[in-house]
Homo-oligomer: A and B are copies of this chain.
Amino acid sequence: MQRTRFGEMACSIARTLDVIGEPWSPLILRDVWAGVSRFDHIQADLGISRKVLTERLNHLVEQGVLQRLPYDARPRYEYHLTAKGADLVEMLMVMARWGDRWLAGEAGPPVLYRHHTCGQIGHVDPRCSHCGEPMHADDVDLLPGPGSA
């Protein structure tokens, strides 16, 4: 499609932004996750221009985050998350959690998350994969890894 903007950096954040960092992309993924999966529905829900929505959907499909599936036996399509895309939902939940905490104001969170495993309303909580304790900004040191160009 076009040259990536951040991709030359040996940084997984930059690489991730090359896939989902363009304007609207996270909201498109949110819509698809929430079941708004058809072109016109996403377009109406977000108020995005059709041209940009076309570009974003194509890019997300190329990157393997969404798949375009026919429905109704005509040239009509729905977009669905792939495994790679579903794995991005935790990022969306973390973003939503931050917005709930810092931007929601008096009214409280606009969306609640019910966890299947326990059946309760909860939110996502980042923990260390090794010890299970909380993992926040001050809890980590950054070290060069094997792929640090």
- A118 and B98 form a contact (CB under 8 A): no
Distance of A115 Cα from B139 Cα, bound (Å): 6
Given A12-B98, A139-B116, A147-B110, check contact A93 B130 (CB 8 Å): no
A62: chain B residues within 8 A (beta carbon): none
Is the CB of A49 closer than 8 A to any CB of chain B?
Answer: no
Contact B135–A90 (Cβ < 8 Å): yes
Residues of B within 8 A of A145 (CB): 108-112
Docked Cα-Cα span, A92 to B120, in Å, equals 27
Q: Within the complex, which residue of B23, B91, B103, B128 is in contact with A118, where a contact is CB–CB below 8 Å?
A: B128
Stretch at the interface among A25-33, A53-61, A68-76: A25-33
CA distance A146 to B10 in the complex (A): 42
Given A109-B145, A109-B146: A115 and B88 interface contact (C-beta under 8 Å):
no
| Given A103-B19, A115-B128, A139-B116, A11-B89 contact (CB < 8 Å) | no
A residues at B contact (CB < 8 Å): 5-6, 10-17, 19, 21-23, 26-27, 30, 33-34, 81, 84, 86-105, 107-118, 120-149
